[in-house]
Structure 1
Amino acid sequence: MDRKSTVHAEAGEDSVGATLRLLRKQKGMSLKALAEASGVSVGMISQVERGLANPSVRLLTSLRRALNVSFQELFTKPASETEHAGDPDFVRRADNRPIIDLGDLQKELLTPTDKPHLQLMIIHIDPGAESGGWALSYPAEKGGLVISGEVLLSVDGKNVALLPGDSFAFDGMLPHSLSNVSSETASVLWIIGAVQFDRHL
């Protein structure tokens, strides 16, 4: 799949903003109610829904948790709109992977359908970039495999350099981050086994 065929927050019915608005209405939540539940301002939510703001993963995480939906639901078109509409729900084709483009980091979603306890993705990290610039932590078991490049994984203050073929697993509640310390784009298979009440990409 061409990694440049990415998903962006932009005006239009196919944007993450339009999907967010649809999911909010399906949940029967007003902008104010979603703002109170997520900690994101009404103005920012409105801008995202209208395609006027490019939301960060942290902001989308706050919104999807408040709505109790997964990233797949924010970025995946209904099966009826794809050429693989007849596929069973346990399959995702290589040419039908949503990609969240964060500039110097892209998340290629692999999980076939919404799985509350398991999320698969390939994270592509540009040289010198890191996973958001902050240490992420929430209830989940995490693991992965370095596909290409060299990355620095930090877990609970411990840093380790990983090369292609190296794998890892840790408690997602521990503060952690991932950065690319090589001169080429690094790709990492990322696996998240979330606890029941946390549905994450």
Structure 2
Amino acid sequence: MTKAIHGDDKRRIGERLRLRRKLRGMALKHVAEKSGLSVGMLSQVERGLITPSIKSMRSICDALEMPVIWLFEGPAEQSDDDIEFVVRRPFRRDISYENGAILKEILTPDTQPKIQMLRFVLEPGADSGEPYSNAEGGKCGLVLRGTLELELNGRRLNIREGDSFAFPAQALVRFWNEGQQPCEVIWVVAPATV
């Protein structure tokens, strides 16, 4: 049985979509083009005036590069007093890649788009894929356990447990775990990207 979405839920979904859109630096028009929906409808969804169909919700989330589940999980259960600044452990959002070989947990609230802290866990053999970069900002991290292989602009670096690193976000980066044990990394990005 599905639960109907009412008042506060509509408002929360709209707020999360607006925060995500702003975090991604996208105009309503761009989201409308990518999702195939009208600007007017998206505006009403963001203001909590209407609830999109499941199909429309998926289209919006695809355009914003976010899982639909993020609209319904996590910080909604946290106290309104701390939700702007604190992400309680049980309410962390996560994404997995490579059939679960890479787990990414988002440790900072969406209300702070100028910086983002992530926790990565890479299983042995996990690889981030082709090198990528961001248009602005910087990245840094700390390896909590295991060894991280990091490639920056074609230069390969071996980052061991306890080592930290930093580089400009414009650098082409790729990372992987060649070890036999999982690798855990705290990764910080400014501005936020996820």
Match for residue 175 of structure 1?
Answer: 172
Match for residue 109 of structure 1?
Answer: 106
Distance 1:180 1:64, change over 3 A: same
3-state SS, counterpart of residue 49 of structure 1:
helix
- Structure 1 residues 70-125: Cα deviation after superposition (integer angstroms, max 9, x where no partner): x6998365877314444252111111111112221111010033322101010111
Is residue 72–residue 113 contact of structure 1 (8 Å, CA) maintained in 2? no
Distance 1:80 1:168, change over 3 A: closer
Question: 2:152 pairs with 128, 137, 155, which one?
Answer: 155
Match for 2:178: what amino acid? V
Is residue 73–residue 114 contact of structure 1 (8 Å, CA) maintained in 2? no
Task: State, as a whole percentage, how many aligned pairs show the same letter.
Answer: 25
Match for 1:95: what amino acid? P
Q: Distance in 1 between matches of 2:174 and 2:160?
A: 16
* RMSD between superposed Cα atoms in Å: 3.8
The unaligned stretches of length 5 or more in structure 2 are 6-12, 22-26, 37-54
Distance 1:80 1:159, change over 3 A: closer
Distance 1:170 1:84, change over 3 A: same
Distance 1:170 1:34, change over 3 A: same
**If you compute each CA radius of gyration, which structure gives the higher value, 1 or 2?**
2
More helix as a share of residues: 2
In the alignment, structure 1 residue 33 sits paired with structure 2 residue 33: yes
Question: 1:82 pairs with 73, 77, 87, which one?
Answer: 77
Distance 1:74 1:190, change over 3 A: farther
Match for residue 98 of structure 1?
Answer: 93
In the alignment, structure 1 residue 200 sits paired with structure 2 residue 188: no
Question: 1:135 pairs with 131, 136, 148, which one?
Answer: 131
Distance 1:81 1:90, change over 3 A: closer
Match for 1:92: what amino acid? V
Q: Distance in 2 between matches of 1:157 and 1:121?
A: 24
Is residue 105–residue 129 contact of structure 1 (8 Å, CA) maintained in 2? yes
Runs of 4+ in 1 over 2 A off after TM superposition: 26-32, 71-81, 83-88
- Structure 1 residues 35-83: Cα deviation after superposition (integer angstroms, max 9, x where no partner): 58xxxxxxxxx69817xxxx9xxxx6xx338xxxxx6998365877314
Match for 2:58: what amino acid? E
Distance 1:87 1:115, change over 3 A: closer
Distance 1:140 1:87, change over 3 A: same
TM-score relative to the length of structure 2:
0.65
TM-score relative to the length of structure 1:
0.63
Is residue 121–residue 182 contact of structure 2 (8 Å, CA) maintained in 1? yes
Distance 1:88 1:31, change over 3 A: closer
Q: Distance in 1 between matches of 2:67 and 2:138?
A: 19
